Amino acid sequence: MSSNPSHYAASSPWCVYKFGGSSVGTPGRLPRVLSLISEAQRPLAVVVSALGDTTDWLISAASAAARGDEAGSGAELAQVRSLARSIAGTVLESAVLTAHEKTVEQLLAPIERLLTGVELTRECTPATLDEVLSVGERISSELVARALTARGIPALAVDARTFLVTDETAGAARVDIEASRARLTPLVPGWEGKVPVITGFIARSHQGRTTTLGRNGSDYTATLLSWLLGARQVTVWTDVPGVMTADPALVGDAYPVPRMTYAEALELAHFGTRMFHPRTMIPLLESGAALHIRGTTEPDAPGTRIDAEGNPDPHRPTSVTSLERLALLHVESLRPTLNEPLGHRVLQALEAARITVWGGTLSALAPSISLVVPQAQAERAHAVLEEALRGERERREVRVPPPHAPVTLVTLVAESMGHRPNVAGRFFHALGNVGVNVRAILQGASSRSVSCAVDAEDTAVAVRTVHSAFNLNETEINVLLVGKGTVGGRLLAQLAENAKTLKARHGVALRLVGVVDSRRALFEPRGLPPAEVHARLADVSPGNASPPDVRPLLERLSRLSVPVLVDCTAADGLETLYAEAFRRGIHVVAANKKPLARPWKECESLHGLARAHFRTWHYETTVGASLPVIETLKNLVRTGDRVERIEGCFSGSLGAICHALMDGVPLSQAVRTARTNGYTEPHPRDDLSGLDVARKALILARELGLELELEDVAVEPLVPPEHLREEDPEAFLRTLGSLDADVSAQVARYRAAGRSLRYLAQILPNAPGGPRVKVGPVAVDAAHPATGLKGAEAMVSFFTERYREFPLIVRGAGAGGDVTAAGVLADILRLAQNVRGRR
Ligand SMILES: NC(=O)C1=CN([C@@H]2O[C@H](COP(=O)(O)OP(=O)(O)OC[C@H]3O[C@@H](n4cnc5c(N)ncnc54)[C@H](OP(=O)(O)O)[C@@H]3O)[C@@H](O)[C@H]2O)C=CC1
Ligand SMILES: N[C@@H](CC=O)C(=O)O
């Protein structure tokens, strides 16, 4: 190839369009292709691929023939014929159609004969296969040229074999550019005033054999042609609106990159973008022509322009790719130094065995080596290394462990890598934050990309996380909500109300992907509109399991970026779900106190599990709804203060009930009102028994590091225990009526004595004889700080070494759907803040 770019620099008025198989071979799309051609500037050369899946069918036909399967081969060819006929039928009138069908038959006849030969010899050589495949593009170019002509656009079908000259390599031939130029030059005047519709992918060897140009060969034909014609621009029309920031199948928010350099495109092609083959770029690098990738379905969208300049904006988007089905090979040194560095020998051995090495890390001094190879070649590569390092292994100098597979190579292609700080830092920080285990790090020598090998199961989350850390102004959080009652219901409303502000002001895109209640489950990874959840859930028929099994949903949730399980139930046993969530890399935000009140050891191991998997478990709302009680306590402990006493009214419902009683409201009515206002637990018995307050006290005590159990909390219920046996909440409320008179009389006595009924909690970490925690009703005097509490107000006073004279007091609404939901939302946002990949 030429080493003198200026000699063949893009300077002619020619433009080149290339249309892929789905653009020309999907019913209904060809008319759009014809319109795009008719509107394009002239002179225009068009390159086409084979229609739809024609190439795959031809490959199958050849394989069937090689097996001697005449019927199978015929069936595949019948598909080729049928598609050619049906697509032609959409754009050609009957007279032209008949002529076209005749041409198709003429093109297929020699291929059928060739396949008969293959059947007889039971062998399809690569050269024969090239000949068979060539018919696909020839049918396509005949069709498009005819359809253009029929629309009054002069066009002619051009077989690229008339000018593209290659070596003899079958399957991926090398183009002889000078010989091709010599053949093309005399042909071009014949194209005057017409659109040449040229076969992509195929060429002819010096010896006159049909050859093909390998994967994405038609793109290569188009860029080669642009070079030969001196065209300034090649437009590749595809199904997608340009080169995307990530694979849209993995990342819903991926968007087209407006501009990039050839070098970036090459890097992307190398590391997994299936849109173009690195070879496609070579003619462009030589001539300086721009490559434009545009979508046939959105022809007015700008698409992606690839040229020498790329995008000068320092905040331009960055692309993330993934290359899957790989394996990681290690050579581990068992000695601090070796006599001879191994890198060269290792690479040489793998190269001799024709094993593709996608990348690796090795250094001149440290002998340990990591290499990424195709999974299909991993076992062979392992054997090759064992053999190559036999001496070292026998001397116990190195170890070659079995390959680790499957892994995926995740690559960030960033032109700015080399000249902007913290690109790699942000890449790894983002992955670390979502707990993706980076198994090996590879930085390209071009300093234009950074790659790492991750376990295959982490592919989606890794790609999404890196994509959002670099390309989105927001952190995307995916929420699975369990429980949609008082708190969960208000959370849904707040998600609907605040979504826009959260995105615009705080850069957080909160996506609700699933909702579960006691009977039904709904999951939609693309997101559920929170306002529609109640109606959508009502449409789901309850499954056999009640409550539904949430574990399969965790699997799906874990594949999304920043997955969060939000527990707004009061259900028992959710600790097992949390454990499963942590193991799967899912964060937990909970209003449910029960998992925190499990036996100390169990609870500690759950915290340990969260830490081990780098997950967070936020539960601020479990004490005092959205009052900052737990965070305040954590801060006191973190900053080295010594907590001497915690006390207060921890229950919003009991606060409201006591306050109503003092106002002369009967107990049964006070409890019913508290329940209606959403202050009580699903079963109000949990409040009146003191159990709910005991759980809160235990949660705070454990935050102090006290190894206490729920049974260690001394609990005095608000009403006598014999009235706390009814299981059904409604029936329970009715039975409370029998207590109304006694309770009212008692409260009247307190009032007469200038006292008020309050339900207090006290934690004494340093009490003589060991920590003491107690909760129960107290008739407090007028001077007591709890006397002033109104309605559902809660209050937590921290008496510490630093806050001895004047305690640190947290006070405010201690229950209610709205405040609690706001606290849950705040916990989710706190998590978002922590996991955010910083720019
Ligand atoms: N209310 C408040 O002021 C505060 C409450 N909290 C805590 O918030 C949690 C929720 O309270 P609240 O909203 O009042 O309770 P609700 O009874 O109003 O709602 C509970 C929800 O959980 C669902 N649910 C119950 N069991 C299961 C299960 N096993 N699996 C899946 N879903 C289940 C229920 O389903 P279904 O709809 O089918 O019945 C319902 O949607 C409790 O743990 C409470 O302690 C914390 C602070 C304040
Ligand atoms: N039932 C609880 C609700 C919050 O945890 C209370 O009354 O405080």
The distance of Cα 355 from the centroid of its chain, to the nearest Å, equals 30
**Domain 475-623+824-836 coded CATH 3.20.20.70:** no
Confidence (pLDDT) at 363: 60
Cα 624 to middle of ligand 2, angstroms: 7
Confidence (pLDDT) at 465: 86
d(Cα 624, Cα 595) in Å, to the nearest integer? 17
- Among 194, 696, 774, 790, which one carries the catalytic annotation? 696
> Is the predicted pLDDT of residue 312 greater than 90, yes or no?
no
Cα 161 to middle of ligand 2, angstroms: 80
- Give pLDDT tens digits for 469-494: 887 666 788 999 999 999 999 999 99
| 536, 569, 689, 696: residue to mutate for ligand 1 pocket, most atoms within 8 A of CB | 569
Atom of ligand 1 nearest to the CA of 594: 43
Atom of ligand 1 nearest to the CA of 520: 38
- How many C-alpha atoms does 715 have within 13 Å on its Cβ side? 23
d(Cα 90, Cα 33) in Å, to the nearest integer? 13
d(Cα 312, Cα 305) in Å, to the nearest integer? 13
The one-letter amino acid at 96: V
Confidence (pLDDT) at 225: 97
| 482, 486, 580: residue to mutate for ligand 1 pocket, most atoms within 8 A of CB | 486
Confidence (pLDDT) at 416: 62
Quickly list H helices, 9-93. Answer: 21-25, 30-39, 54-66, 70-91
Confidence (pLDDT) at 239: 85
Give 519's DSSP letter.
S
Percent of the chain with pLDDT strictly greater than 90: 74
Taking CA atoms, 581 is separated from 103, 150, 604, 824, 827, in Å, by 62, 62, 16, 18, 17
Q: Is 236 within 8 Å of 293 (Cβ atoms)?
A: yes
| 480, 484, 517: residue to mutate for ligand 1 pocket, most atoms within 8 A of CB | 517
**Residue nearest (by alpha carbon) to ligand 2 atom 3:** 815
Return the higher-pLDDT residue of 419 and 215.
215
> Is the predicted pLDDT of residue 836 greater than 70, yes or no?
no
Tokens of 13: 């008025």
Across the beta sheet with 210-212, the strand order is 165-166, 202-205, 210-212
319-469: CATH number = 3.30.2130.10
To the nearest whole number, what is the mean pLDDT of the chain?
A: 91
Q: Is 342 within 8 Å of 287 (Cβ atoms)?
A: no
> Is the predicted pLDDT of residue 418 greater than 60, yes or no?
no
- Reduced to 3 states (helix: H, G, I; strand: E, B; else coil), residue 158 is strand
Beta-bridge partner residues of 399: 332
d(Cα 312, Cα 308) in Å, to the nearest integer? 11
Question: What DSSP string runs through 777-826?
Answer: EEEE-TTSGGGG--TTEEEEEEEESTTSSS-EEEEEE---HHHHHHHHHH
> Is the predicted pLDDT of residue 205 greater than 90, yes or no?
yes
pLDDT band at residue 11 under the 50/70/90 scheme: confident
Tokens of 737: 């009526």
Tell me the average pLDDT across 272-292: 88
**Residue nearest (by alpha carbon) to ligand 2 atom 1:** 680
Taking CA atoms, 774 is separated from 223, 705, 811, in Å, by 80, 17, 20
Cα 717 to middle of ligand 2, angstroms: 15
Cα 170 to middle of ligand 2, angstroms: 75
- Give pLDDT tens digits for 447-471: 678 899 999 988 988 998 888 888 7
**Prediction ipTM score:** 0.99
Tokens of 117: 């030969």
Q: Is 289 within 8 Å of 10 (Cβ atoms)?
A: yes
Atom of ligand 2 nearest to the CA of 687: 1
Tokens of 271: 């590391």
- Give pLDDT tens digits for 626-681: 999 999 999 999 999 999 999 999 999 999 999 999 999 999 999 999 999 999 99
696 is catalytic: yes
* Ligand 2 neighbours by CB, cut-off 6 Å: 625, 651-653, 679-681, 687, 692, 814-815
d(Cα 196, Cα 244) in Å, to the nearest integer? 30
**This prediction's pTM:** 0.65
* Ligand 1 neighbours by CB, cut-off 6 Å: 482-488, 516-519, 547, 568-571, 591-593, 621, 625, 652, 678-679, 681-682, 815-817, 820
Taking phi first (over 0 means left), then psi (-120 to 50 degrees means alpha), and beta for anything else, what does residue 552 get?
alpha
- Give pLDDT tens digits for 133-163: 999 999 999 999 999 999 999 999 999 999 9
> Is the predicted pLDDT of residue 2 greater than 50, yes or no?
no
Cα 71 to middle of ligand 1, angstroms: 64
Domain range annotation of the chain: 5-50+136-239, 319-469, 475-623+824-836, 629-815
Return the higher-pLDDT residue of 258 and 807.
807
Quickly list H helices, 585-728. Answer: 600-612, 629-638, 652-662, 667-676, 685-688, 691-703
For residues 452-472, one letter each, b for 16 or more C-beta atoms within 10 angstroms of the residue's C-beta and e for the rest, the string is: bbbbbbbbbbbbbbbbbbbbb
Other residues' Cβ atoms within 10 Å of the Cβ of residue 526: 8
Beta-bridge partner residues of 363: none
d(Cα 810, Cα 8) in Å, to the nearest integer? 77
Other residues' Cβ atoms within 10 Å of the Cβ of residue 47: 31
Q: Find the ligand nearest to 486 CA.
A: 1
- Reduced to 3 states (helix: H, G, I; strand: E, B; else coil), residue 758 is strand
Q: Is 680 within 8 Å of 687 (Cβ atoms)?
A: yes
Estimate the crossing angle of helix 54-66 against helix 94-121, to 10 degrees: 30
Estimate the crossing angle of helix 54-66 against helix 126-150, to 10 degrees: 150
Residues 6 or more apart from 196 whose CB is under 8 A from it? 45, 46, 155, 156, 158
> Is the predicted pLDDT of residue 546 greater than 60, yes or no?
yes
Confidence (pLDDT) at 772: 98
Confidence (pLDDT) at 337: 64
Confidence (pLDDT) at 334: 82
Tell me the average pLDDT across 394-414: 92
- Reduced to 3 states (helix: H, G, I; strand: E, B; else coil), residue 197 is strand
**Residue nearest (by alpha carbon) to ligand 1 atom 21:** 483
- Give pLDDT tens digits for 93-139: 988 999 999 999 999 999 999 999 999 999 999 999 999 999 999 99
Positive or negative CA dihedral for 741, 742, 743, 747?
Answer: positive
Q: Is 832 within 8 Å of 473 (Cβ atoms)?
A: no
Confidence (pLDDT) at 838: 31
What is the third-level CATH fold of 629-815?
Dihydrodipicolinate Reductase; domain 2 (3.30.360)
Long-range contacts of 607-611 (CB under 8 A, 24+ apart): 609/579, 609/582, 609/583, 610/578, 610/582
Tell me the average pLDDT across 269-291: 87
Atom of ligand 1 nearest to the CA of 678: 1
What is the enclosing helix (H) or strand (E) of 222? helix 217-229
The one-letter amino acid at 634: K
> Which 3-state string (H, E, C) describes 256-320?
ECCEEEHHHHHHHHHCCCCCCCHHHHHHHHHHCCEEEEEECCCCCCCCEEEECCCCCCCCCCCEE
**Residue nearest (by alpha carbon) to ligand 1 atom 30:** 518
Determine phi and psi for 782, rounding to 5 degrees.
-65, -25
- How many C-alpha atoms does 220 have within 13 Å on its Cβ side? 21
d(Cα 226, Cα 291) in Å, to the nearest integer? 10
Tokens of 16: 């080149």
Which of these CATH numbers, 3.40.50.720, 3.90.1150.10, 3.30.2310.20, 3.40.1160.10, describes 5-50+136-239? 3.40.1160.10
